[in-house]
Structure 1
């Protein structure tokens, strides 16, 4: 059989292909396990990387959540403190209103005492309470958060939020700034209240001192007034004193000053400092004078006011009527006991309209002028007596003009 060259070439190619296929299959079988192992190892590394990333993100989310919970707790604690301060200010305002009512009832304070007015709101310097509460609710998540202005650049916020959450300017930081601002505002209000209370206390004390000075110069025994005022029954088990706040101390000081002012004011109103015949001319003063009946010197125990028959006679202080009727040279006479040893007498009256035992207030009409008793003509005879002895009524009238601005 003749072997042609082409047949030899075909046979050689076939043998070459089979050899190459055999070598390739052998190589694959030899390296397959290594390739599979390397691929599995790569996949395992990728899985571990992803698991580590997920664990890291979970840890960061937990930290952020814990921080938010802590911030919320801090904000709630500060809200409670703020509400406590607000309740304290409301309570103080109620007590202050009560004391202001007492101050108004006790009489006008001197015009020279500057009582501060409410401080006006200043934009940007004083926290608005309603705005502050809205901000607090926003921080606590109770309201929809306000949208922030866009920066105009694609910063990849969503991707960054997964990889990094900034811890600056958190809710706690914002609440700190807010509460600091509001606390300063409340401190300003508290200082204003304390300043106002202190000025009122100083004004009440000054007024009480002025009234006391006038009363003492006219012989009114204020020590008896203090003893009488201090006889209120008090008592109770002993309890250790508590530390007093500045505001409460100021209120106590104002309360003490108002109590003293009320006491001396009531005493001044009771004493005979008013005019029995406003607008009437004084025709005869206190002291020795020429007696119109005997011609020699005689002691005039009061002062006389020119008044026609029927002119009104007014009580010069509050008190109780102890005499109302004919009384020797006084003619028709009314005597009023004002307490503390002081009494007043009104003589030569044409008509008496009060009776013994009546309680009289200063300025009440007690009768009408006349010409009864030892008198040369219609007029009003007025006396002031201290412990039964006549004193010059003019010093009381002069003191009454000074007291008018302090007790009216």
Structure 2
């Protein structure tokens, strides 16, 4: 039975793959190689498998390149949009701060004017009381003078009746004339005092009306200040919350980071000198407290932005690349054993530019076993970044670099299977997954 099946299979193979002979002729003799049907079938199947694998691998590589390019383009667009948004919010914040300071100045000027007008009103009330007191004295004197005048007239009438035509030359007549003159003087003084009283009363009423207008203006100004403060507080919340979330997502203590940055920028007159609204030794008002709180938030926002520049939140490769290996244990590409991979790998062509991911100082720039050409950068907060397997190093030890500065080119130096960048992040000497920082900044940069 098996012999029949073998014969049939051989016949079927003979139909599609007939036996062939390859003749090899030399100067001495001629030899040939016999290609049996089974041998031809195995060769054909192997060739077909190689071609199929080549097509599938090429398709996967092309799809990865297209996907990686779209992701990087989208990330760059998102970063530009967020930077534009931050710039707009910073401009709006500065404008609101200037409006708040101007409103505070107008408010203080209005308060000073009201204080002056209140002082004038008190002085006018004092003069009015003095005038009323003087008027009372004049009125009492006038009543007494009128009584004396009436008595003098009655006495003069009696004397005139007794003496007849010679009464004009008597002392009583002269006394009556003096009383008439005194009465006229007192009447004029009383009239002048009454006019002054009316004038003081009118001025006091005008002052009260003006004070009421100023109080209305102050109320409107306070409403405007409250609206400005509310907008500034909302803008500060929107600006600070993503940065705070970014640091916390990276496992960094925000209070310690802020304190460390503040110590580094504590010089008087420096870019981050704390500012506040002065209360001139008095208890702060509600507006002054809100203004001080907003200014403190502005200071915190500036500290966050400086700290963000000093932590490795950026991607080291800006050109097209393929993410070939993540952080953690993996199969060693050289010997096949299980080993710890202390970073992430970005594969790309030799010479692809590599960039610093944060501000720092170069502490190593040269060859190191296993890493090949290696650059180490020391950052703030005890963070160190490493760029390995480079084809060219463009920085020197001791050089200060900023985020986005080109530090070298991608290569295949050291222990590698092909050109790529091996990128590490270490905190206190301990290797940390770099993607923690890169993913934490997705919503910010």
Whether the 8 Å CA contact 1:314–1:367 is kept in 2: the answer is: yes
* TM-score normalised over the length of structure 1: 0.57
Distance 1:304 1:186 in 2: 64
Instruction: Tell me how far 1:202 sits from its aligned partner.
Output: 5.5
Residue 228 (1) aligns with residue 260 (2): yes
Residue 277 (1) aligns with residue 317 (2): yes
* Structure in which a larger fraction of residues adopt helix: 2
Instruction: Give matches, 1:127-146, under 5 Å.
Output: none
Instruction: Tell me how far 1:248 sits from its aligned partner.
Output: 2.6
Give 1:244's aligned residue. Answer: 284
Whether the 8 Å CA contact 1:201–1:254 is kept in 2: the answer is: yes
Match among 394, 399, 415 for residue 374 of structure 1: 415
Residue 178 (1) aligns with residue 210 (2): yes
SS at match of 2:236: helix
Distance 2:291 2:386 in 1: 43
SS at match of 1:329: coil
Whether the 8 Å CA contact 1:309–1:368 is kept in 2: the answer is: yes
Distance 2:297 2:195 in 1: 57
Whether the 8 Å CA contact 2:377–2:385 is kept in 1: the answer is: yes
Residue 336 (1) aligns with residue 368 (2): no
Residues 251, 275 of structure 1: alpha-carbon distance in 2 compared, 3 angstrom cutoff: same
Give 2:301's aligned residue. Answer: 261
Deviations 1:10-59 (A, max 9, x none): xxxxxxxxxxxxxxxxxxxx999646759x99999899678646533422
Distance 1:67 1:316 in 2: 80
SS at match of 2:422: strand
Give 1:193's aligned residue. Answer: 225
In structure 2, list runs of 5 or more residues that go unmatched. 1-159, 269-279
Distance 1:325 1:46 in 2: 124
Whether the 8 Å CA contact 1:198–1:250 is kept in 2: the answer is: no
Give 1:302's aligned residue. Answer: 343
Residue 211 (1) aligns with residue 243 (2): yes
Residues 56, 210 of structure 1: alpha-carbon distance in 2 compared, 3 angstrom cutoff: farther
Distance 2:195 2:319 in 1: 86
* TM-score normalised over the length of structure 2: 0.52
